[in-house]
Amino acid sequence: MLQTLWDNRIQCVAMLLFAVGFATLLLHPNLMKKIIGLNIMDTAAYLFLTSIGYIEGRLAPIVTNASTDPARYANPLPAGLVLTGIVVSVSVTALMLALTVRLYERYHTLDLDKIYLMARQEEEGGV
């Protein structure tokens, strides 16, 4: 069992990185740190995908010497998927940061608990 985990250690690191990001997302009340946590989770997903595409001893999927032997190159497909993931992650991060800016302008804090409290008071007080 430990041997399997050690053989797949890069994927284990990706999972641990995912957990670190998830914990940051859940435990920090600060919105900025929540966004950082989500980005760490994204990075873990990229690491996992690229590790799936890697094959020991093969070249990057760029054809050299006009050789198109599939046994010569690593898998090009996960690289394309990671590219998609990076772009979506950048877009989502930008959107979250913009929303955070607007929240800060309204409540003058980044602490989600305080924001939640104030929003609730506004709702109940009908302000």
Residues that bind another protein (CB under 8 A): 1, 4-5, 7-12, 15-16, 18-19, 22-23, 26-27, 51-56, 58, 60-63, 66, 68-73, 75-80, 83-84, 86-88, 90-92, 94-95, 97-99, 101-102, 105, 107-109, 113-114, 117-118, 120-121, 124-125, 127
Residue 4 Cβ, how far from another protein at the closest point, in Å?
5
Find tokens 């800016």 and name the residue.
101
Residue nearer to another protein on the CB measure, 33 or 53: 53
| Cβ closest to another protein, residue 11 vs residue 30 | 11
Identity of the residue, 30 or 75, whose beta carbon is nearer to another protein in the bound complex:
75
To the nearest 10°, report the CA torsion of 52, 58, 10, 6.
110
Nearest approach, Cβ of 38 to another protein (angstroms)?
A: 14
In the DSSP assignment, the letter for residue 58 is P
Cβ neighbours for 54, distance < 8 A, ≥ 6 positions apart: 74, 75
Strand-pair partners of 59: 73
- What are the angstrom distances between the C-alpha of 100 and each of 32, 37, 94? 8, 15, 10
